[in-house]
Amino acid sequence: MNDSSAADEYRPAVKDPHTLSVILPVFNERRTIAEIIRRMRAVSVPVLVDIVVVDDGSIDGSDKVLAALADSTVRVVTHEKNQGKGAAIRTGLAHASGDLILIQDADLEYDPDDWPRLLDPILKGKASVVYGSRFTGERKNMMPLHWIGNRFLSLVTNVLYSSTLSDMETCYKLFSRTAIEGMTIVSNRFDFEPEITAKLLRRGYRIYEVPISYAGREADEGKKITWRDGFAALRALVKFRFTKSY
């Protein structure tokens, strides 16, 4: 046996590194898209990163910015027409290659510098699903109606699903691929948040929360979610509590 064979025989097995697929739904975010991708590329995490951008029918020139940013680390998938955040995430999931999945908004409300904090419980084997809570970390205060609406929806989630979440509506949702294996997401808009939360909880996953920073924006700054989406989220929570499919 030669030296190289001996070395191979006694070399310890190396565990494949995790790959984090970050799904970035985009709709008319020309002003922020370049900066958020710059921040995403700059963050240091102990995993491989696969960025999947889904341009959900933008008409403000976001597509031109994305065309200039796409490379081997940033893949861009395009919807010809706007379909909604849930539909964009569904498309992103179909193109994601990682064993870990993270949702990232295309505005600047959520800071990629929080990725290591989100990843830590999963990499340490403490959890399979991690949410970033806007209510336990530093933040720019929300408008009162947004604060009340978010807290109310989290309360309803906790009552219906016997959970103790502080922020069900958070964008920062990180989960292992196995946690959503075989799961069908049907929501096309912002009701994606309660749907995936409901289905994860019904599968028996205990959601681990970590504090994140948050810099909320308002409608005049481009925020798209409205009070109507709050009612849709409430309907979704009730619907998916009693549906058989999860």
Q: What is the pLDDT of residues 30-47, one digit of tens each?
A: 999 999 999 999 999 999
The per-residue DSSP string of 39-101 comes to HHHH---SSEEEEEEEEES--SSHHHHHHHH-BTTEEEEEESS---HHHHHHHHHHH---SEE
**Tens digit of each residue's pLDDT (9 = 90 or more) over 35-85:** 999 999 999 999 999 999 999 999 999 999 999 999 988 999 999 999 999
Taking residues 147-170, what's their average pLDDT? 94
Looking at the predicted structure, is the pLDDT value of residue 5 above 60? no
**Residue 245 confidence class, pLDDT cut points 50, 70, 90:** low
Greatest mean pLDDT among 118-132, 136-150, 231-245: 118-132
Structural domain spans, the chain: 17-242
Mean pLDDT, all residues of the chain: 88
Looking at the predicted structure, is the pLDDT value of residue 101 above 80? yes
Q: Are 102 and 173 in contact (CB under 8 A)?
A: yes
Residues 218 and 29: their CA atoms lie apart, in Å, by 14
pLDDT of residue 237: 96
Fold of 17-242: Spore Coat Polysaccharide Biosynthesis Protein SpsA; Chain A (3.90.550)
pLDDT of residue 201: 97
The owner of tokens 């709709």 is: 27
- Report CA-CA distances (Å) from 29 to 65, 91, 172: 10, 18, 18
Q: Three-state SS for 188?
A: coil
Taking residues 156-177, what's their average pLDDT? 97
